[in-house]
Amino acid sequence: MATLSTTMPTLLDHAKVFGPDRKVAKIVELLSQSNSSLQDMVMKEGNLPTGEQTTIRTGLPAVYWRLTNQGTPPSKSTTAQTVENAAMLVARCHADVDIATLNGDVSAYRAQKASAVMESMAQEMESTLFYGAATSPEEFVGFANRYTALTGEANSENVLDAGGTGTDNSSAWLIGWGMDTICGVYPKGSKAGISHEDIGIDDVDDADGNPFRAYKDEFKWKCGLVVKDWRYGVRIANIDNSELVAGTGTQATTAATNIVKMMSRAIDRIPNQNRCKLAFYVNRTVASHLRVQALSFSNSAIAIQPALNQFGNTIQQLTFLGVPVRLSDSLTSAEAQVT
């Protein structure tokens, strides 16, 4: 039975260390159950109040074959430093005091209101993880804006072309999570995940500017993305959704760009699978058609097998060559062609 790795701390692992009441951990459980990347993303405390400064090796030292009585010139590796800033996602929840009191259980009513806010925050966080833009300084930069081109960039060899054109494409992602590969980061001295402040009862204005009494809650989430080694992220771009559904063109089973063949190629791009925790992330269309293929006896690479999630519950996990395949509704089916 496949199980998730427990050697690298996820968001839930960090949350469990804060307080015996597990209120924070329960919040994170809700987020993780609804948003696939949060199940796997390895988290670390940054070394800066704003995020993480990391050193990336950009070149290896030269080595030489040597004859006797012949000298060897010195050489060294080259490195570059980058700063990955954590962004701050904030939400407020207001509950009319009279309505909360009528409900009979004020705490339960406020929790119900807050759960919708947290779900919205989780969806926004996962969407930013994939599509956060450098042109939006309030966000952190997501995967799609780091792996942007088939050629001409340092990481282009990890952007694979599934052959689709137009603007109705999607991407599948293979991420190797790890402290020295790709991970999430929260600012130094802060806490992982959502922090909650119960502001209490205060005046709130209605749409006409007239005040009423309400319970106030504020939720805050500081998080960033660190890609320390780009080789541990692979983008399968230009998956033509209509051809995938029809099983024709670029997604015919005989095509070199068929999603199954591309996923196999993606795994081969990962330098060392033992250094990371691997997972694929796909949208609902890709997941559905992979599952259909898994039900075919002719395709043994894709499997549906029982596994334990990090809450100890048994699930039916879709895997490809043993790597979990996660569903993410944040991945759109309306991407422009990556060239």
Contact 251, 242 (CB under 8 A): no
Distance CA 96, CA 214 (A): 4
pLDDT in the model for residue 17: 41
Taking the CA atoms of residue 296, residue 300, residue 301 and residue 306 in that order, the dihedral angle to the nearest 10 degrees is 90
State residue 126's pLDDT score.
92
Nearest to 231 by CA among 203, 281, 266, 184: 266
What pLDDT is recorded for position 297?
A: 53
CA distance 254 to 247: 10
| The pair of three-digit structure tokens given for residue 319, joined into one six-digit string | 């895997």
Structure token pair of residue 275: 């250094």
> What are the residues facing 236 on neighbouring strands?
160, 172
- Answer with the residue of higher pLDDT: 88 or 38: 88
What's the CA gap between 65 and 147, in Å, rounded? 37
Kindly state the tokens that stand for 39: 């199940």
**Does residue 270 fall inside a structural domain?**
yes
Is the pLDDT score of 258 beyond 60? yes
> If you search the block for the tokens 């960039």, which residue do you land on?
153
Residue 282 pLDDT greater than 80, yes or no: yes
107 phi-psi bin (left φ>0, alpha ψ -120 to 50, beta other): alpha
Q: Is residue 36 part of a domain?
A: yes
CA 212 to chain centre: 40
Q: How do residues 164-218 score in pLDDT, each as one tens digit? A: 998 899 999 999 999 999 999 999 998 888 888 999 999 999 889 999 999 999 9
pLDDT of residue 310: 46
DSSP 20: T
- 328: how many CB neighbours lie within 10 A of its CB? 22
- Residue 209 sits in which domain range? 2-327
The answer as to whether 339 is a domain residue is no
Per-residue pLDDT for 337 more than 50? yes
Checking if the pLDDT of 284 tops 60, the result is: yes
Which is it for strands 323-327 and 277-282: parallel, antiparallel or unpaired? parallel
Tokens linked to 305: 């097998």
User: Could you tell me which residues come within 8 angstroms of residue 266 by beta carbon, excluding any fewer than 6 positions away?
Assistant: 160, 172, 174, 234, 236, 280
- Residue-wise pLDDT for 67-90, tens only, equals 998 999 999 988 888 889 999 999
Q: Give the pLDDT band (50/70/90) at residue 298.
A: low
CATH code at position 130? 3.30.2400.10
Residue 313 neighbours by CB under 8 Å, 6+ apart = none
Q: pLDDT-based confidence at 296, cuts 50/70/90?
A: low
CA-based R_g, the chain, Å = 23
Q: What total of structural domains would you count in the chain? A: 1
Q: Tell me the per-residue pLDDT of 231-257, one tens digit each, with 9 for 90 and over.
A: 999 999 999 999 999 999 999 989 999
Q: Where are the beta strands (DSSP E) in 39-101?
A: 43-45, 51-59, 78-85, 87-96
Tell me what the mean pLDDT of segment 37-64 comes to.
Answer: 88
Q: Average model confidence (pLDDT) for the chain?
A: 85
- What is the share, in percent, of the chain residues with pLDDT greater than 70? 85
Torsion, CA 142, CA 119, CA 42, CA 150, rounded to 10: -20
| Residue 60 is assigned to a structural domain of this protein | yes
Greatest CA separation for the chain: 92
pLDDT > 70? residue 19? no
Tokens of 182: 């790709």
DSSP secondary structure, 167-227, as one string: T-EEEEEEEEE-TTSEEEEE-TTS-SSEEEEEEEEEEEE-TTS-EEEEEEEEEEEEEEEEE
> Among 114-128, 175-189, 263-277, 310-324, where is mean pLDDT lowest?
310-324
Residue 271 pLDDT exceeds 50: yes
Q: What is the pLDDT of residues 119-175, one digit of tens each?
A: 888 889 999 999 999 888 899 999 999 999 999 998 999 999 999 998 899 999 999
User: What's the confidence (pLDDT) of residue 113?
Assistant: 82
Q: Which two tokens stand for residue 287?
A: 């997941």
Average pLDDT over residues 39-47: 89
* Better pLDDT: 3 or 230: 230
Count of other CB atoms within 10 angstroms of residue 319: 19
* 209, burial (CB in 10 Å: exposed 0-12, middle 13-18, buried 19+): exposed
Percentage of residues in the chain with pLDDT exceeding 90? 58
- Please, are residues 285 and 241 in contact by the beta-carbon 8 Å criterion? yes
